Amino acid sequence: MKKFLSYFVISFFLFFSALNAHPLKEPEFKTLKFLPPKIESHSLQSGATLFMLEDHELPLVQLTALVRTGTMFESDREVGLASLCGALLRAGGTTKRKVEKMDEELEFMGASLESGIDLESGSISLSILSKDLDKGLNLFFEMLTSPNFDKRKLEIEKAKIIETIRRRNDDPFQIARREFRKLLYGPKHPLSRTQEIPSIKKISRKDLFNFYQQYYFPNNMMIAISGDFSSKEIIQKLENYFSSWKKEKRELAGVVSLQEQERFLKKAKGVGFAEKKINQASVLIGQLGIKRHNPDRFALEVLNEILGGSSSSRLYKEVRSRSGLAYWVGSSFSEPYDYGIIAAGCQTKSETLGQAIRSIFKQVESLNSFLVSEEELKAAKEALINSFIFRYNSSHAIVTQKMNLDYFGFAKDYLETYTQKIEELTSSQLLEVARKYLKPEEMTLMVVGEEASFDVPLKEFGTVQPIDLKVNE
């Protein structure tokens, strides 16, 4: 045994001596290249636009439709109507069969059929074996063209939403996100409106039909389909299904949008505060940013990656790892139909709130004061490009994204040129964009926590606006 141990120690020593003489190099990974397959597109006679990608590897067909609607089209008096319409399109059955019967048929085929409405679109998705495609399309178009919005199901969905509203203050960070948006946009803007119990209670079956009829017509739709089918045959099938559904000449409702002067008039930094007796604080810091299609969005995406977009970001390294000031820390930026938000945030102990806020501000200021290093820039670019490519690991992800880009008005070659636009960015360009948009002195601060435990008074960061978390019945 002693002889074996002596041999092991000598071998161990010789191994590490060799390492010191010839140290291992850090592995180098080449940036992945993205060459998406060609997507076929076709305009149906009904006015709907079709995007197709055949993939015969598996006997499966996936279909996703987008309808140009969304919660953004609701008035501030009917918040919740659109999302209920989207849910009940599927959950409320059709005029030909109850939802239980539809569930039974889908389960027998091993298929799924879903619907919903979010901020800027309505969606319907079907996933089915290719041998059952005709049956699936029957159900899909039946749901799409003749919803029933069953009254009993409506009351069940309303009860679920009301219970969710009653529990909306359980999660401190969700409070911070909700109230932060209200501070930046105002409470009546579509990007910050929240559902309330009194308005949910008022929504009727008739309201759902009215909303549906306003937005659900064929020339207000796009369809993406991928899988085991023939493009020629699927076009003919869809033409047949759409043949009895007439085009409509209908203008969509107007949408609330911030005006330029409103955006820049409010430059004084403010602090929103929601009192909640917890031993940690949730923090968000940020400001209004850019609209969709702004050419600076590529630079902002790289800046966000460097600031707080990953576990190798500055916020993660400085605020969480080195200073130990946060359980979670990160940053984000959005680009919706109106001005988006550039923000950073964290969850920290109440006793280190002030230190965490100052540390976040310090990292934001560093981005508009100094050039990022070439090493940091390279790492951020590679992370973004590689994650972008891995988003499209299936045929349906690719064809759906192609439809989404067309729906939201992006350039036709966006997918093909994205990686190039990220790769071409320089440190000087990032500094220019950071100085244009990152203005700590104009940023709004939102905090949720127990004020008595904070290490500094919140007024140190600006005028404090107390927020009432009461839920109105």
Residue 91: inside a domain, yes or no?
yes
Identify the CA nearest to 402 among candidates 26, 6, 25, 40.
40
Helices (H), 205-342: 205-215, 231-242, 260-265, 297-308, 314-315
Residue 14: inside a domain, yes or no?
no
What is the dihedral angle through the alpha carbons of 367, 373, 374, 380, rounded to the nearest 10 degrees? -50
Residue 203: inside a domain, yes or no?
yes
Is residue 187 located within the same domain as residue 334?
Answer: no
> What are the structure tokens assigned to 433, written together?
């964009």
Q: What is the pLDDT of residue 12?
A: 37
Residue 252: inside a domain, yes or no?
no
Residue 231 CB partners (closer than 8 Å, separation 6+): 40, 42, 52, 54
> What are the structure tokens assigned to 398, written together?
């690719």
What is the dihedral angle through the alpha carbons of 430, 431, 435, 439, rounded to the nearest 10 degrees? 80
Is residue 234 located within the same domain as residue 271?
Answer: no
Identify the CA nearest to 451 among candidates 279, 238, 194.
279
Please give the residue range of the domain that contains residue 414: 260-466
Domain stops at, among 242, 271, 290: 242
Residue 23: inside a domain, yes or no?
no
Other beta carbons within 10 Å of 61: 24
In angstroms, the CA 76 to CA 374 distance is 48
Q: Are 449 and 282 in contact (CB under 8 A)?
A: yes
Is residue 269 located within the same domain as residue 302?
Answer: yes
Is residue 347 located within the same domain as residue 229?
Answer: no
What is the share, in percent, of the chain residues with pLDDT greater than 90?
Answer: 82
Is residue 207 located within the same domain as residue 266?
Answer: no
392: CATH: 3.30.830.10
DSSP code string of 202-236 = H--HHHHHHHHHHH-SGGGEEEEEEESS-HHHHHH
Other beta carbons within 10 Å of 173: 16
Is residue 329 located within the same domain as residue 206?
Answer: no
Residue 434 CB partners (closer than 8 Å, separation 6+): 303, 367, 368
Residue 29: inside a domain, yes or no?
no
Is residue 175 located within the same domain as residue 206?
Answer: yes
352: burial class by Cβ within 10 Å (0-12, 13-18, 19+)?
buried
Is residue 234 located within the same domain as residue 276?
Answer: no
Residue 34: inside a domain, yes or no?
no
Residue 167 CB partners (closer than 8 Å, separation 6+): none
Site of tokens 């390492």:
19
What is the dihedral angle through the alpha carbons of 69, 72, 75, 79, rounded to the nearest 10 degrees? 100
Is residue 206 located within the same domain as residue 145?
Answer: yes
Is residue 225 located within the same domain as residue 312?
Answer: no
DSSP code string of 8-40 = HHHHHHHHHHHHHHSPPPPP--PPP---PPPPE
Strands (E), 7-120: 40-43, 49-54, 60-67, 112-117
pTM equals 0.88
> What are the structure tokens assigned to 196, written together?
């309330």
In angstroms, the CA 60 to CA 445 distance is 48
Q: Are 36 and 392 in contact (CB under 8 A)?
A: yes
Site of tokens 């559902």:
195
Strands 122-129 and 40-43: unpaired
Is residue 67 located within the same domain as residue 216?
Answer: yes
Residue 101: inside a domain, yes or no?
yes
Low-confidence ranges of the chain (pLDDT < 70): 1-34, 260-269
Strands 444-449 and 270-275: parallel
DSSP code string of 341-387 = EEEEEEEEEGGGHHHHHHHHHHHHHHHTTSPPPHHHHHHHHHHHHHH
Treating both helix axes as pointing N-terminal to C-terminal, what angle do 151-166 and 81-91 enclose, rounded to 10 degrees? 130
Say how far residue 407 (Cα) sits from the centre of its chain: 16
Number of domains in the chain: 2
Q: What is the pLDDT of residue 256?
A: 83
Treating both helix axes as pointing N-terminal to C-terminal, what angle do 297-308 and 374-390 enclose, rounded to 10 degrees? 110
First to last CA, the chain: 77
Residue 326 DSSP SS3: coil
pLDDT in tens, 123-154: 999 999 999 999 999 999 999 999 999 999 99
Q: What is the pLDDT of residue 260?
A: 57
Is residue 236 located within the same domain as residue 264?
Answer: no
pLDDT in tens, 187-246: 889 999 999 999 999 999 999 999 999 999 999 999 999 999 999 999 999 999 999 898
Strands (E), 267-334: 270-275, 280-288, 328-333
Site of tokens 């400085």:
318
> What are the structure tokens assigned to 275, written together?
């009192």
